[in-house]
Amino acid sequence: MEYSFNGLNVTSFESRRSQEIEKLIRYHKGNPRVAPSMRELPEAESPDISSFSKQLFDGNIDLLILMTGVGTRFLSNLVIDEFGRGRYLEALRNTNILARGPKPVAALRELNIKADITVPEPNTWRDILKTIEDENLDIEGKNVFVQEYGVSNKKFTDSLKSLGANVKTITIYKWALPEDINPLRDAIKSISKGKEDCLLFTSSQQVVNLLKIAAEDGLESSLRNGAKNALIASIGPTTTETLNDKGFSVDYEPNSPKMGNLVREMARSASSLLNKKRTALNNGVSTDNWKRVDMIWTKSVADRKEVTYNSEFMKACRLEKTDYTPIWIMRQAGRFLREYRELRSKVSFLDLCKNPSLSAEVTLMAVDRLGVDAAIIFSDILLILESLGIGLEFSKGDGPQIKKPVRNSSDIDSLKEFETESLEFVYDALKITRKALDPKIPLLGFAGAPFTVASYAIEGGGSKNYINTKKMMYKDPELWKTVMEILTDSTSKYLNAQIKAGADAIQIFDSWAGCLSPDDYSKYVLPYMKKLVNNIEHDLPIIIFGTGTNSLLELFSTTGANVVGLDWRVDIVDGWEKVGFDKAIQGNLDPATLFSTPKYVADEAKKIIDKVGNRPGHIFNLGHGVLPNTPVDNVLRLVDEVHEYSNKVR
């Protein structure tokens, strides 16, 4: 799969690997401008070396934190030159070493030394602190030495001190401007004139030095104006933080902080993201320090709706021919994305759901990152329970928990009447998202089906056998009827409000319906599903989805939904035959496939597309939600393979 900049002008500020990044940009059909912006100068007379060496040889260092590969090599060379290789290596082997990612690990490997602990990506100083916590390292009262990079990170050292550590820093090198700054000056002039399309930053100091030279040349203001019209890509969180602190918005950051990933993923997305940014600028959005929710695509609602109506996703829902198979992914804004995990580390799940701006930002983030053909609002199927007076909490590792399960008539009598306004934050999130979302990308609202929501409320959470739910169904059918009627009426109002707020299509998750026999589904669930769909007041696509529902697909097709989602346990053609070819289908790659290789992912996607052939009405999706820790590169490959291969098949 080849990604292309399509001839865009791409400026990189990389120094040490400038030739390598130039080749990468050119390989991906970009016009490269490489402007080295910094260099590392060893501190040959570093005052910290003597103190470090003495403590190391005396065995007084409890934890040595190596921050960079360059610094590790400089440090090793200085100590070896003065005290000898053998003595240094022996002392290192007797010292607990924590390496900030693969670069110091590689530098240690050159010495045949292995780090005791390696910090996982994205290798920020915050990840070091988390690793110390995860590894249960007790550093209180311990001597911790930190090999610093070009500048001192006071936030990091202060955080270590707050854990009780005796922190000593080792200054090994400093950052300086390159010996020849003319390429950097030329780049500043070109950016200032609006001639550069994409700016690639691979370290924080590049940002500092860029602004320093621009200010010296009296071009800082024009540089900032030119950057408003260009994509800004950052290699990782630390560089992104610096760019934000300096007043720049980052348009793209790869999931893995590697130079190759940065160039490749920018080649994949640059054209669409650049169009988005320049459209925003033309519509009066200030793009120097903006968020996704600030985007304005068009000021005409009628024009937007026409574009959305004719999108590939909406045409597939209507069984119309499409240029390619549209794809979106359940849980596409989830834990497998690093930026989502970073946000969740600061905000609880419920708080995120209830913050319209953050919910919208997360929804839009997935579209920008993955390039999918539909967005689905970030929310949860169980929020409706709070509106009914049922306590709800999400505990780490245990999922949703119902504080007081609904299991008898008195529990039901205590339920509050559903008030549509109680979920206003969901509607606000939909409004914000729909305004900021590309018109050709439909926005899905969603809700849990009455049975699935009822099962959570009755069981008190997830369940393997649904004993309490089925007990109520079989033993007290009148009570069951009351519960289902309450949820059906409430969900109807909820979905209609979502549509009014901007949802272009609706998905109904009947996640646990697969635990039912066809007879039980027909008797205890289907009447309410028909009523729910019938109560939706607008003519728009309605998708119904559940897992383990192969035996229920014929019944699903009678609910009135336009689209039926298939899980991965059923052959897609067999499933479509059961649903009926007068309905569109959605699915159905096994989510676990994404843990394989990119080639295997592509091959499995092709198999599904080949089975469908040219029959209109297929929306590609997984057979369930994307799983945590799924490699993002494999998800990107899936989206691109579905688009490219299905277009060839057409």
Catalytic residues: 331, 335, 344, 380, 456
Consecutive H or E run containing 34: strand 31-34
Residue 250 · residue 244 · CB < 8 Å: yes
Give dist(CA 269, CA 371) in Å, integer.
Answer: 8
Helix (H) and strand (E) counts in the chain: 29, 20
Give dist(CA 33, CA 13) in Å, integer.
Answer: 9
Degrees to nearest 5, angle at CA 493 with 555 and 476:
55
| Cα–Cα nearest to 432, from 356, 499, 494, 498 | 356
Residue 341 · residue 335 · CB < 8 Å: yes
Strand partners, 399: 395
Adjacency order of strands within the sheet including 117-118: 117-118, 97-99, 63-66, 143-147, 166-170
Cis-peptide, bond into residue 534, ω within 30° of zero: no
Residue at 535: amino acid letter: N
Residue 448 · residue 509 · CB < 8 Å: yes
Q: Cβ contacts of residue 140 below 8 Å, gap of 6+?
A: 163, 164, 165
Give dist(CA 34, CA 187) in Å, integer.
Answer: 8
Residue 14 · residue 259 · CB < 8 Å: yes
What are the phi and psi torsion angles at 624 (to 5°)? Answer: -170, -170
Place of tokens 């010996």: 179
Q: Which long-range contacts does 341-350 make (Cβ < 8 Å, 24+ apart)?
A: 342/237, 348/394, 349/380, 349/394, 350/392, 350/393, 350/394
| Cα–Cα nearest to 543, from 527, 524, 557 | 557
Rg of the chain (C-alpha set) = 28
| Cα–Cα nearest to 376, from 509, 261, 257 | 509
